[in-house]
Structure formats: structure tokens, C-alpha cells
């Protein structure tokens, strides 16, 4: 009951301070508001961006590996010269992997180039043309809005057929059903057999909506695939870990390429976990920046709260003397002022949280992805505010609790 009484009285005193000294209190709370806004807005963007990126990365498949020329890495110290002369993966290597591997469930081959595409008088420039093998849709997400996927015969023979993205369909065909129509690529006409389901742009700025897919054997007939970046995509069998599959693939690829025992690998085996770890390091730096920026504002806000509480103690000195003469203990006075400081700080923090919440409504149109103010970040904002209030209000509260009741009552005369 005593604690509840203290909470109610402290809350009322905090409201009274806000009403009686509006400008002074608001200016003092501004630092808390700005600090909480800075920290929570950074963490809200951080969490939303992290979720969007990791969702995008995980859509590639957690049990999928990518055999490529270049290893995935980030940073200015990337030793590109070590990998420059490596050969690109080949379709024949994918076929050998399927024959030899006991851990691989499915494998697919892909390579991409940018070309202009045409339909009658309509044209689109530098459209990504992705050549894929038959089982590409068994490993990667590939939903169709209309039409169908390549048949095994079309893939094997390298027929001149194409599956186009929704953006290609909208811009080239402008309301006409593209399935069954022609599209001109590489100076040749291909039959459109399907349209991919609209998925929107990812946080990396990529989407199937603006791509065209063709059979790999058709791509090989019109392109010099030796000089184009290519990828072998492999998916593990159920119960097989990526590490098990990777260990086996290293041996198979070295055998296929006849590498001597002491020679370095002439290929890279990449997985989504590499990207996740790189972004974890980046997000850790962003979080530190958020705390650093918000920390200065919170420091200023803390001094503001302390100033309010010193003034409050001064104005209520005689009241403290009366309370102590009537038997109020030191801890009662201490907690009364301490709770008041915490309530004032939480008020400033709540205003900062409300600003962040309002801004999340406009985030999708500005940032192209949705910001979500999570309960964890709301809780963090309130806890940090309360901690700042506790820290900045302790000395004034302690001073108030140590006042001599006779001297305190005499101050009103």
C-alpha cells in the first residue's frame, strides 16, 4: 500500500510539475524525447531491415549451396586477384556432381546476362536474361501467374522458349496476354510460355518481375558461356547438413578439375550463412552508432531531469519538513522524489516512442519496406527512460531525504 501511495503521489507531482512549469519541464524533457527517439528509431529501422534482409537471404534456402568462381565476402581487403583466373562452373560439372554425390538431392545450373528485348515496337533495355537448367524451379522459389514451366524436352533440346516477369509483361505487352506471343532476344524470336507471379522488389533491389528465364541449352547456343558468371546450385538431401554436403562437394569438384593435392581450390562453395554473418557485423556497428547518437541526447535529458528535481526539492522544502515531523521516514521522501523523476523521464520517453510510431506509417512509401515498432523496442524505450530518471533523480532525492525537518519547516518563514 505504501509503494502504491508513493507511485500515485509521485505521478501527481510529475503531472503538477508539467502543468505549473510547462516550458521549463518540456525543455528539460526534450533531451529524453530526442534521445529515446534517436535510439528507438535506429533500432526500429535496424530490426525491420534485418528481418527483411534475412527473410530475403533465407528465401534462397538454408539447405542450399552455390558453387561459383568468386567467394562471397565483404570489405575493402577482398583479394579479387586470387580468384580472377579461376574457371567458371560448367554444366558438365553439375552433371558429374549429380552422378557422384550421395548428399545432393537436386542440382541446377544458371547464368545471367543483360540484353535489350523487343515485342513489335515496344522495347526494354538491359533486361536480365537468366539461363537455367530443368530443375531450377525445384530448388529456387518459382511461382507462375500464367502459363507453365519448361518441359524436360524443351530444356534438353534448348528450344527457343521464355518465361517472363510481370514487369516485362506489363511494359512490353501492355494489357495483352503474353503467353503464346513472341519476344525478341539476341536478335531471335522466342515463344513466351509463362509469366512469373509478381513478388515485388527485394531490399537488395532485385526481383523476378523484371527478368526473363530461358533454358540453359538455348542460352549456350547463343552466348559464349565461358566468359559469363555462372552458378551451380545444389540442395542437400533430407537429414544432410550443409557442412556434410560441402565437404563432399569439395572432394568431387577437386576430382572433376583434377587439382593436385597441394593446389588451392579453383572454385568457391558459398552459402547464405556467409551473408547472414556479414550483416550481423554490420548491424552491430549500426546499433553502436544508435546508442552513441542517442546517448548524448539522453545525457542532456538526464541533466534536465536532475535540474527539475533540484528545483522541486527547493520549492517543497517546507512540505518535506512537515512530512518528516509527522513521522515520514527518509526512504519515503527518497522514493517519493525518485519516482517523480522516473515518471518525468518516462513521459519524455513515451513522446519519443510516439514520434517513432507515427513515422512508421510513412516508412513504406519512403524506404520501400515496412518499419515495425516492436514490443521489444517499446519496452527498451521505457526501461532506458526509467533508468535515466532513476540515475538523474537520485542525488536530488537523496538530498531531500536528508533534510533536517526543523530547518526544512523554517525555510517557509
Mean pLDDT of 6-35: 69
Residue 363, pLDDT > 90, answer: no
pLDDT score recorded for residue 310: 81
Residue 93 pLDDT grade (very low, low, confident, very high; cuts 50, 70, 90): very high
Over residues 129-143, the pLDDT tens digits come to 999 999 999 898 888
Over residues 366-408, the pLDDT tens digits come to 666 678 888 888 888 888 888 888 888 888 888 877 777 766 6
Residue 148, pLDDT > 70, answer: yes
Nearest CA to 160 out of 140, 131, 137, 196 is that of 131
| CA 147 distance to own-chain centroid | 34
Over residues 287-313, the pLDDT tens digits come to 787 778 777 777 777 887 788 778 777
3-state secondary structure the chain: CHHHHHHHHHHHHHHHHHHHCHHHHHHHHHHHHHHHHHHHHHHHHHHHHHHHHHHHHHCCCCCEEEEECCCCCCCCCCCHHHCCCCCCCCHHHHHHHHHHCCCEEEEEEEEEEEEEEEECCEEEEEEEEEEECCCHHHHCCCCEEEECCCCHHHHHHCCCEEEECHHHHHHHHCCCCCCCCEEEECCEEEEEEEEECCCCCCCCCCCHHHCEEEEHHHHHHHCCHHHCCEEEEEEECCCCCHHHHHHHHHHHHHHHCCCCCCCCCCCEEECHHHHHHHHHHHHHHHHHHHHHHHHHHHHHHHHHHHHHHHHHHHHCHHHHHHHHHCCCCHHHHHHHHHHHHHHHHHHHHHHHHHHHHHHHCCHHHHHCCCCCCCHHHHHHHHHHHHHHHHHHHHHHHHHHHCCCHHHHHHCCC
Mean pLDDT of 75-83: 79
Pairing of strands 230-236, 64-68: antiparallel
Mean pLDDT of 51-63: 72
Share of the chain above pLDDT 90, in %: 31
Residue 39, pLDDT > 50, answer: yes
Query: What does the mean pLDDT of the chain come to?
Result: 83
Q: What are the boundaries of each domain within the chain?
A: 2-56+277-410, 87-266
Residue 223, pLDDT > 80, answer: yes
Amino acid at each position: 500500500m505504501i509503494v502504491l501511495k508513493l507511485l500515485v503521489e509521485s505521478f501527481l507531482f510529475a503531472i503538477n510539475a508539467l502543468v505549473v512549469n510547462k516550458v521549463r519541464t518540456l525543455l528539460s524533457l526534450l533531451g529524453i524525447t530526442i534521445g529515446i527517439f534517436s535510439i528507438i528509431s535506429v533500432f526500429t529501422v535496424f530490426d525491420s531491415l534485418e528481418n527483411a534482409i534475412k527473410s530475403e537471404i533465407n528465401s534462397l534456402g538454408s539447405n542450399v549451396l552455390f558453387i561459383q568462381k568468386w567467394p562471397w565476402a565483404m570489405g575493402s581487403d577482398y583479394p579479387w586477384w586470387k580468384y580472377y583466373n579461376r574457371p567458371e562452373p560448367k554444366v558438365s560439372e553439375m552433371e558429374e556432381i549429380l552422378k557422384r554425390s550421395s548428399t545432393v538431392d537436386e542440382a541446377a545450373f544458371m547464368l545471367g546476362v543483360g540484353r535489350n528485348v523487343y515485342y513489335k515496337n515496344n522495347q526494354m533495355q538491359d533486361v536480365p536474361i537468366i539461363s537455367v537448367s530443368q530443375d531450377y524451379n525445384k530448388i529456387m522459389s518459382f511461382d507462375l501467374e500464367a502459363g507453365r514451366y519448361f518441359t524436360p524436352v524443351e530444356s534438353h533440346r534448348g528450344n527457343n522458349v521464355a518465361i517472363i516477369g510481370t514487369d516485362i509483361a506489363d511494359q512490353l505487352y501492355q494489357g495483352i496476354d503474353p503467353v503464346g506471343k513472341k519476344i525478341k532476344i539476341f536478335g531471335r524470336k522466342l515463344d513466351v510460355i509463362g509469366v512469373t507471379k509478381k513478388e515485388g522488389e527485394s531490399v537488395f533491389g532485385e526481383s523476378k518481375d523484371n527478368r526473363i528465364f530461358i533454358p540453359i541449352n538455348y542460352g549456350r547456343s547463343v552466348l559464349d558461356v565461358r566468359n559469363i558468371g555462372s552458378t551451380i546450385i545444389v540442395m542437400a538431401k533430407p537429414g544432410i547438413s550443409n557442412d556434410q554436403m560441402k565437404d563432399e562437394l569439395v572432394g568431387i569438384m577437386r576430382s572433376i578439375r583434377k587439382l593436385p593435392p597441394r593446389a588451392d581450390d579453383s572454385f568457391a562453395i558459398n552459402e547464405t550463412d556467409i551473408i547472414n554473418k556479414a550483416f550481423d557485423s554490420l548491424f552491430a556497428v549500426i546499433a553502436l552508432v544508435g546508442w552513441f547518437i542517442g546517448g548524448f541526447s539522453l545525457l542532456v535529458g538526464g541533466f534536465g531531469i536532475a535540474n527539475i528535481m533540484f528545483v522541486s526539492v527547493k520549492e517543497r522544502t517546507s512540505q518535506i519538513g512537515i512530512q518528516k515531523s509527522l513521522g515520514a521516514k527518509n526512504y519515503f521522501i527518497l522514493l517519493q522524489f525518485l519516482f517523480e523523476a522516473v515518471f518525468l523521464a518516462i513521459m519524455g520517453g513515451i513522446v519519443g516512442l510516439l514520434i517513432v510510431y507515427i513515422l512508421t506509417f510513412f516508412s513504406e512509401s519512403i524506404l520501400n519496406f515496412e518499419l515495425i515498432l516492436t514490443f521489444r523496442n517499446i519496452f527498451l524505450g521505457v526501461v532506458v527512460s526509467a533508468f535515466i530518471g532513476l540515475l538523474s533523480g537520485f542525488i536530488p532525492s537523496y538530498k531531500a531525504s536528508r533534510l533536517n525537518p526543523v530547518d526544512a519547516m523554517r525555510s517557509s518563514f
